[in-house]
Amino acid sequence: MATEKPVTPTEEQLEILEYNFCKVNKYPDPTTLCLIAAETGLSEEQTLKWFKQRLAEWRKSEGLPSESGSVRD
């Protein structure tokens, strides 16, 4: 009961997630994350996990280190 089974976001959920990642904020604060989760119908944990994975992909594509501990602009 402690672990949540992986969920693959629907195309509509992905559009919302991608829009927020690209146009709004790559580093959403807890309030924004909660609003995105509510809009997509995903849990906050699922939404946070998606953002972490997407950020790692983005950093890799930009040639940046994958650790999130680096300085932000």
- Domain hosting residue 42, numbered range: 11-62
Place of tokens 């195309």: 11
- How many structural domains are present in the chain? 1
Q: Is residue 69 part of a domain?
A: no
Provide the 3-class DSSP secondary structure of residue 48: helix
Q: Is the pTM of this model over 0.85?
A: no
Is residue 41 one of the residues assigned to a domain? yes
| Position 64 confidence tier, pLDDT thresholds 50, 70, 90 | confident
In a domain, 19, yes or no: yes
- Quote the strand ranges of 1-73, DSSP E: none
Is residue 4 in a domain? no
What does the pLDDT read at residue 21?
Answer: 95
| Chain segment 16-59, per-residue pLDDT in tens | 999 999 999 899 999 999 999 999 999 999 999 999 999 999 99
Asked if pLDDT for residue 73 goes beyond 60, the answer is no
How many Cβ atoms sit within 10 Å of the Cβ of residue 51? 20
Supply the CATH number for residue 57's domain. 1.10.10.60
Cβ count within 10 A of residue 36: 24
For residue 73, is it within any domain? no
Closest CA to 35 of 15, 52, 53, 20: 20
Length of the chain: 73
